[in-house]
Amino acid sequence: MGKLVEFLTHPTELMAAVHLKKFRVSPFPMDLSSASEDLRKCYEYLDLTSRSFAAVIKELHPELRDAIMLFYLVLRALDTVEDDMSIDPKIKVPVLREFHEKLNTKDWTFNGCSPTEKDRIVLENFPHLLAVYHTLKPEYQDIIKKNTKLMGNGMADYILDEQFNLNGVNTIDDYNLYCHYVAGIVGEGLTDLIDLAGFALFEEGVDKYQLANSMGNFLQKTNITRDFREDLQDGRSFYPKEIWSKYTDGLPKFLESSEGNAAGLACVNDMVLNALGEAIDVLTYLSLIREATSFNFCAIPQVMAIATLAEVYNNPEVLKRVVKIRKGTTCRLILESRTLPGVVSVFRRYVREINKKADVRDPNYLKMGIRLGEIEQFCEFMYPSKPLPKGAQRNAKPINRYIEERGSFDTKGLQLYAQETAKLRAVMFVVVAVITVTTVHLFL
């Protein structure tokens, strides 16, 4: 009932939901009718373990679809071992460090997870993953194995880090490193897969791993900022002490009083400020993707992140519950993120929304204004909101060349969106007409 009310009070989001579910065209519809049992099983596990990534992975170009699906499931299995607090560290650490070696086998399984661990199905049925893994191109296998090794060892290092286990994240540098291990490495692996497939153009001089790391960090920092209360209730927090110690001598105090709420809100805003430091790299990275479904796969989580940061910023509800964007907003963002101009428009919109919510009493009011201005200016360099005066020339930046080299990539995306929208409006016109005529007849 709550979702229905949301849609009825936000009709444009209702239209977006109908568009997404019934009118959006997938360039490469997935067909598993002739697939092996192992491959079908893997896609079943994808549906069971991922709410946000399953649909967009299934829409990927066939060259990458199975490789990225398998990469996701392997890392999901790895993460399930790391997250399960019932597993003795003496067992857990060797499993994490040696996890990449299991990819060389054909029948390895792990049955040591708690019965309450919902994603254990991937570990208990790991041979299905192994069978598909061995059908991938050797180059794709190498990328998956390399990044599984990096992530597994990073997880093991944190488990053995007594300082981290006792006090959490200390400095901002520690925070960045933590985000790198849990999200940045994923971004680097995906980047290697996309690059190897020929779906990106990372020219000489472009640090693709720095950009990929920012992509992962932006998502992870957004989640950490949003999940403040939930993490604290679970007895942990990933807010770096270098940030929260400016506002309190103990994080739980943020939940204890109105004064604590004011300090807590300032801390949340500081975390948003930190996350926004990744935004320009995110936009730069997306400008270098050259294939429609790969672009969509990369862009959708990023627009969700900037929308979430706008929802979280200066919102005292973050201290009381997990704040999320509306389902209808999610549908709208998915549709808007099919082209680079669409993504830039979304970033501009939410940067301005954050700016409107800024409070001069916030300790980081000026810093936030500067950061938002930098992102807005970068968006303006990408796609100027006004034409240049006659005879004037723009000082071109690398980002302008990246956009020019995209060719007709975004134009085709806009044309497809326009065609879908036209069909949706035609159907809605007929539906409204039928409802109107039926209503008139009822009252005659």
Please write the tens of the pLDDT for every residue from 395-404.
778 899 999 9
Q: What are the boundaries of each domain within the chain?
A: 35-160, 173-384, 407-444
Contacts of 122-127 with C-beta under 8 Å, sequence gap 24+, read 122/45, 122/49, 122/73, 122/76, 122/77, 122/80, 123/77, 123/80, 123/81, 125/41, 125/45, 126/77, 126/102, 127/38
| Residue 236 scores a pLDDT above 70 | yes
Six-digit token pair at 376?
């807005």
Is there a common fold for 35-160 and 173-384?
A: yes
Domain 173-384 adopts which CATH fold? Farnesyl Diphosphate Synthase (1.10.600)
In the predicted model, what is the mean pLDDT of residues 92-114?
96
Of the pLDDT bands very low, low, confident and very high (cuts 50, 70, 90), residue 20 is: low
User: CA torsion sign, 410 to 276 to 159 to 319?
Assistant: negative
Query: Comparing 53 with 210, which gets the higher pLDDT?
Result: 210
Active-site amino acid positions: 178, 226, 236, 297
Q: What is the average pLDDT value for the chain, to the nearest integer?
A: 89
The tokens 């049955």 sit on which residue?
A: 111
| Amino acid identity for residue 123 in this structure | L
Name the pTM for this structure.
0.91
Distance from C-alpha of 220 to C-alpha of 125, rounded to nearest angstrom: 28
pLDDT tens-place string over residues 34-88: 999 999 999 999 999 987 789 899 999 999 999 999 999 999 999 999 989 899 9
- Residue pLDDT, tens place only, 246-290: 999 888 888 776 555 889 999 999 999 999 999 999 999 999 999
Question: In terms of CATH, what superfamily is 35-160?
Answer: Farnesyl Diphosphate Synthase (1.10.600.10)
The predicted-structure confidence for 321-343, as pLDDT tens digits, reads as follows 888 888 888 888 988 999 999 99
How confident is the model over 151-199, as pLDDT tens digits?
999 999 988 987 787 778 999 999 999 999 999 999 999 999 999 999 9
